[in-house]
Amino acid sequence: MSESVQTRYTVPIKAVEKGIKLTTEAKAELQSIGMMDDKGKLKLKGVSPKMLKRMKLEAVDCPVLKQEIGFVQCYVCKNFNSRITGEVNCRGDPL
pLDDT at 4: 62
Q: Angle at CA 88, nearest 5°, toward 58 and 95?
A: 95
Mean pLDDT of 70-79: 89
Q: pLDDT at residue 74 above 70?
A: yes
Lowest mean pLDDT among 42-56, 63-77, 78-92: 42-56
Decide if 18 contacts 26 (C-beta within 8 A). Answer: no
Domain segments of the chain as ranges = 9-90
Task: Give pLDDT tens digits for 14-67.
Answer: 999 998 888 888 888 888 888 888 888 888 888 888 988 999 999 999 999 999
Q: How far is CA 76 from CA 1, 2, 70, 82, in A?
A: 23, 25, 11, 11
Q: How far is CA 84 from CA 1, 11, 40, 80, 88, in A?
A: 20, 10, 28, 12, 6
Q: pLDDT at residue 2 above 70?
A: no
Q: What is the CA radius of gyration of the chain?
A: 13
Instruction: State how far the Cα of 12 lies from the Cα of 19, in Å rounded to an integer.
Output: 17
Query: For the whole model, what pTM was predicted?
Result: 0.82
**Amino acid identity of 30?**
L
